[in-house]
């Protein structure tokens, strides 16, 4: 039995409730970044317009801020399939860190 098969056996032995629980907890964490990005997408153009800077609205960072969290969550979800629970948590955490780094970079650009 190879190491890859051993990982599959470990992943299958973890109860479904734990796997769903990890996915839901990380969905809430990724959702926080999505909520922040959507609120910026809604509020920032109105603020720029009210201040007289409507032509300088940073649409690209605002839209990318909405796109990055769900794409990163989906990528982590797909990459974590078939792995042990601890490896799945690490994959979700790495995706969350990448989402946070992208969000902060996009805030600097906006």
Residue-wise pLDDT for 88-108, tens only, equals 999 999 999 999 999 999 889
Please state, in angstroms and rounded to a whole number, the distance separating the CA atoms of residues 34 and 72. 11
**Hey, what are 17's tokens?**
């409730």
The predicted model scores a pTM of 0.84
What are 8-65's pLDDT values in tens digits?
A: 556 667 889 999 999 999 999 999 999 999 999 999 999 999 999 999 999 999 999 9
Please state, in angstroms and rounded to a whole number, the distance separating the CA atoms of residues 102 and 92. 15
Asked whether the beta carbons of 95 and 71 are under 8 A apart, the reply is no
**Three-class secondary structure of residue 38 per DSSP:** helix
Asked whether the beta carbons of 99 and 30 are under 8 A apart, the reply is yes
> What was the pLDDT predicted at 8?
58
Asked whether the beta carbons of 102 and 60 are under 8 A apart, the reply is no
Which residue did the predictor score with more confidence, 5 or 31? Answer: 31
């Amino acid at each position: 039995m190879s190491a890859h098969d051993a990982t599959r056996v470990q992943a299958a032995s973890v109860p479904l409730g734990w796997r769903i629980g990890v996915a839901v907890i990380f969905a809430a964490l990724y959702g926080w970044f999505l909520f922040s990005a959507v609120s910026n997408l809604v509020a920032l153009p109105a603020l720029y317009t009210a201040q007289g800077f409507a032509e300088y609205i940073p649409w690209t960072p605002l839209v990318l801020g909405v796109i990055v969290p769900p794409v990163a969550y989906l990528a982590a979800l797909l990459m974590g399939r078939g792995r042990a629970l601890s490896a799945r948590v690490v994959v979700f955490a790495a995706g969350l860190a990448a989402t946070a780094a992208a969000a902060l970079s996009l805030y600097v650009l906006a």
